[in-house]
Amino acid sequence: MRMVELGRTGLRVSELGLGLASVGGMFAAVPERQAVATIDRAWELGVRLFDTAPVYGYGLSEQRAGMALRGRPRDEFVLCTKVGRLIEPGGPDLQPIWAEPPAGVGPRLDYSYDATIRSFEASLERMGIDRIDVLHIHDPELDFPIASTETFRALVELRGRGTIRAISLGVNHADVAARFLRETTAHGPDVILLAGRYSLLDQSGADELLPLCEKLGVAVLAAGVFHGGVLADTADGAPHGYERVPQDVLRRIDVLREVCSAYDVPLLAAAVQFPLTHPAVPAVIVGARSPREIAEVAAWREYEVPEAFWTALRSAL
């Protein structure tokens, strides 16, 4: 799998990264053996970028990341996790999407300087790995004044000491990331993990954020490229994230399918590869809950897409 530079960080990553929310039990339980096998299969396929978070399964995802990765040569992969939520006994900010969280603990939103350092140290302990390469401020819009000052100050100190290599934001909102970058330009984030806002169904990240990142040399990791599975399954009912798929979304998917059919390009191959056509996006991060799923996504990444397809696609978007 192709390796690329991660912006100005000095890190090299695979163009395809594995997001580890699913193996932490997002929406459905994943047995431990299957979770580890999924990460192992990703490694066999050449994936060298792994993204987790304390809130994913309330520590379960980080624990499983450590089980699968800590025996690997440490300089051969890039590991990302997040701060902004502490996992602790009685944590009140529960999320119903986690199918098998450990009993008695939960997340507590806290972007303070002290909580950021504690969260970082707890992540290292859960994973049993000696360092984290990219540390994201998770959902900074939930307490922007503190996230952009205290959390950011903690990460700047960690980066300055060489404890982490890069500061990042993990966001679902492109405007939040753009604001953060504007307010911290002098020594701001090195990376943005942007979920669902530069994809076949939503290019809003290109309005302001991606041009700003390109100007500043900030790398964008595109996530949420399947929109909770809506591109894979648009039948009645709804994929994750939708109570019911809106008709305008279904119409846009029909248009996408027509273009893909005309050029013999699988829709999901286009979904994986589309973000990589922007110069600010060196890599895409996808979730998988089984070895089969990550192998399928890797095959879509490698599918040969003709240049004429992208021209036609952009005309249709």
Give phi and psi for 12, each to the nearest 5: -115, 135
Instruction: Say how many C-beta atoms besides its own lie within 10 A of residue 197's C-beta.
Output: 26
Instruction: Say how many C-beta atoms besides its own lie within 10 A of residue 172's C-beta.
Output: 15
DSSP 235-255: SSS--TT-SS--HHHHHHHHH
Q: Per DSSP, what are the bridge partners of residue 17?
A: 285
Asked if 291 and 299 count as a contact pair (C-beta separation under 8 A), the reply is no
Instruction: Spell out the residues 6+ positions from residue 43 whose beta carbon is closer than 8 angstroms to its own.
Output: 68, 72, 77
Give the residue numbers marked as catalytic. Answer: 51, 56, 82
Cα separation, 303 vs 297, whole angstroms: 10
- Amino acid at residue number 167: I
Asked if 135 and 147 count as a contact pair (C-beta separation under 8 A), the reply is no
Cα separation, 14 vs 78, whole angstroms: 9
The radius of gyration computed from the CA coordinates of the chain, to the nearest angstrom, equals 19
List, as own/partner pairs, every contact residues 101-106 make where C-beta atoms lie below 8 angstroms and the sequence separation is at least 24, other chains included.
101/25, 101/57, 101/58, 101/60, 102/57, 102/58, 102/59, 102/60, 105/58, 105/59, 106/58
Phi-psi region of 305 (alpha: psi -120 to 50; beta: other; left: phi over 0): beta
